[in-house]
């Protein structure tokens, strides 16, 4: 038996969630990675999440399927809705773009909360960021604090005084800071996938908000993005 505290870590296979998993492990948690298959337009992020979980040494990794494709209108679940491309960097983060999936992080955290109760874990990690981000309302500190309060009254553990803490260690970090942190933690950056609209072979589009923010982060960090370098070779 391990004496380490257990934690559930939401893992998408992207840069932010991979770095978050690495941070949870560095802090001494027994990290159980949770990936959600929610009807997203590509399944590549599921494969990347598994690779990240194995590379970093998560205690366990599992996929939960929840079909959100019926929530029409999001470019991430509806192939008929175009992913915005080449938006001016100064406009990214203003308003709520069509890549927003209704209540996605609330649903993801609810799934993580349920698994945390099963594992008797009191900590949940999420790679939410409110600095270099697309403006999603469910990535803000106010939302995460509110969900933590909800967890305290919505679960057996919470009612019994064993509430869950929501950790968002990247919430106030720039993308460049996240890249530097990922390097320090030994994250295989070439495995991570940030693109909203990748090619079937995993090549990033390089034009969606997420690709533009990732490129900005690597550029400002003075680091070459190995996923792009691999595509160009």
98 found inside a domain: yes
Compute how many other C-beta atoms are within 10 angstroms of the C-beta atom of residue 154. Answer: 15
- CATH code, domain carrying 131: 3.40.50.620
20 found inside a domain: yes
In this structure, the dihedral spanned by the alpha carbons of residues 204, 207, 211 and 213, taken in order and rounded to 10 degrees, is 170
The answer to whether the CB of 119 falls within 8 A of the CB of 25 is no
147 found inside a domain: yes
Instruction: Report whether pLDDT(92) > 70.
Output: no
Q: Is 182 exposed, middle or buried (0-12, 13-18, 19+ CB in 10 A)?
A: buried
* CA proximity to 175, closest of 223, 141, 208: 223
157 found inside a domain: yes
45 found inside a domain: yes
Q: What whole-number distance in Å separates Cα of residue 210 and Cα of residue 220? A: 15
Instruction: Report whether pLDDT(42) > 90.
Output: no
How, if at all, do strands 123-125 and 165-167 pair?
parallel
Poorest-confidence range of 58-62, 120-124, 129-133, 137-141?
Answer: 129-133
Region 119-140: what's the mean pLDDT? 88
Region 70-80: what's the mean pLDDT? 78
Region 172-201: what's the mean pLDDT? 94
> What pLDDT score does 163 carry?
87
* CA proximity to 62, closest of 50, 54, 44: 50
Residue range(s) defining the domain that contains residue 204 = 6-232
> What pLDDT score does 1 carry?
40
Query: 125: pLDDT confidence band, cut at 50, 70 and 90?
Result: very high
How, if at all, do strands 60-65 and 165-167 pair?
unpaired
1 found inside a domain: no
Instruction: Report whether pLDDT(207) > 80.
Output: yes
Listed in sequence order, the residues at least 6 apart from 211 whose beta carbon sits closer than 8 Å to its beta carbon are 194, 195, 196, 204, 205
Query: 2: pLDDT confidence band, cut at 50, 70 and 90?
Result: low
- Number of domains, the chain: 1
> What pLDDT score does 93 carry?
55
């Amino acid at each position: 038996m391990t004496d380490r505290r257990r934690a559930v870590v939401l893992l998408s296979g992207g840069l932010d969630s991979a770095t978050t998993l690495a941070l949870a492990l560095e802090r001494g948690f027994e990290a159980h990675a949770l990936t959600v298959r929610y009807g997203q337009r590509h399944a590549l992020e599921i494969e990347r999440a598994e690779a990240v979980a194995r590379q970093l040494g998560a205690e366990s990794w599992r996929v939960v399927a929840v079909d959100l494709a019926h929530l029409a209108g999001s470019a991430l679940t509806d192939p008929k809705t175009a992913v915005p491309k080449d938006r001016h960097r100064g406009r990214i983060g203003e308003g709520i773009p069509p890549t927003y999936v209704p209540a996605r992080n609330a649903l993801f955290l609810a799934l993580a909360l349920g698994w945390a109760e099963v594992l008797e874990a009191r900590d949940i990690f999420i790679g939410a960021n409110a600095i270099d981000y697309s403006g999603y309302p469910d990535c803000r500190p106010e939302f995460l604090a509110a969900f933590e309060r909800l967890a305290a009254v919505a679960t057996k553990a919470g009612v019994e005084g064993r509430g869950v803490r929501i950790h968002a260690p990247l919430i106030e970090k720039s993308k460049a800071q996240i890249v530097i942190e990922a390097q320090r933690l030994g994250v295989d950056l070439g495995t991570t996938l940030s693109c909203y609209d990748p090619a079937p072979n995993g090549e990033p589009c390089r034009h969606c908000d997420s690709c533009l923010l990732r490129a900005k982060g690597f550029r400002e960090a003075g680091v070459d993005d190995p996923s792009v370098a691999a595509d160009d070779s």
